[in-house]
Amino acid sequence: MEAAFLQLVQQHAGILHKVCNLYCTHPGDRQDLLQEMMLQLWKSFPAFRNEAKLSTWIYRVVLNTAITAFRKEEKRPATQALTEETILYDREDDASLYNEQWKMIQGAIGDLTDIEKAIIILYLENRTYMEMEDILGISQATLRVKMNRIKEKLRKKVNAQTF
């Protein structure tokens, strides 16, 4: 079981790092969250029943862990704009591909609530609403409404910054 778990973590390390970068601004906090995610995955691993895709199950465990850890904080830490590494962890395209509008969108994403960040990261990962429902435990209909509101919120923030 230990070897299988280590292989699982290695194969899906990008998911853990993306979520850590999304919810934590300081390296020490990211490391703490990463360790907590690994612990929760280890505790949950024997109960995994192969009823969902492995990546869906991992997202569910790590996002729930991140949201729980974030809510335990007495004060909400200062938000920081997302970096290219946060959303596109394994992408090594030339930085010149990213224009000023993308940087504004990253800043706007950084200002979203916990659950909105979780939804947008799954959306940016091209997850279906069915997968999002499995991961977050939110109905597809509610997710569609939330996604429309998130898009509108991001649109307004970016438009406000451009004028």
The pLDDT of 76-85, averaged and rounded, is 52
Question: From its phi and psi, is residue 94 left (phi > 0), alpha (psi between -120 and 50) or beta?
Answer: beta
* For helices 129-136 and 54-72, angle between their N-to-C axes, nearest 10 degrees: 50
| Tally of structural domains, the chain | 1
**Sign, Cα dihedral of 113, 117, 123, 129:** negative
Residues 81-129 pLDDT 10s: 555 555 554 444 444 445 566 677 777 888 888 899 899 989 988 889 9
pLDDT band at 148 (very low <50, low <70, confident <90, very high): very high
In this prediction, residue 84 carries a pLDDT of 52
Instruction: Quote the domain boundaries for residue 142.
Output: 2-162
Q: What is the pTM of this model?
A: 0.58
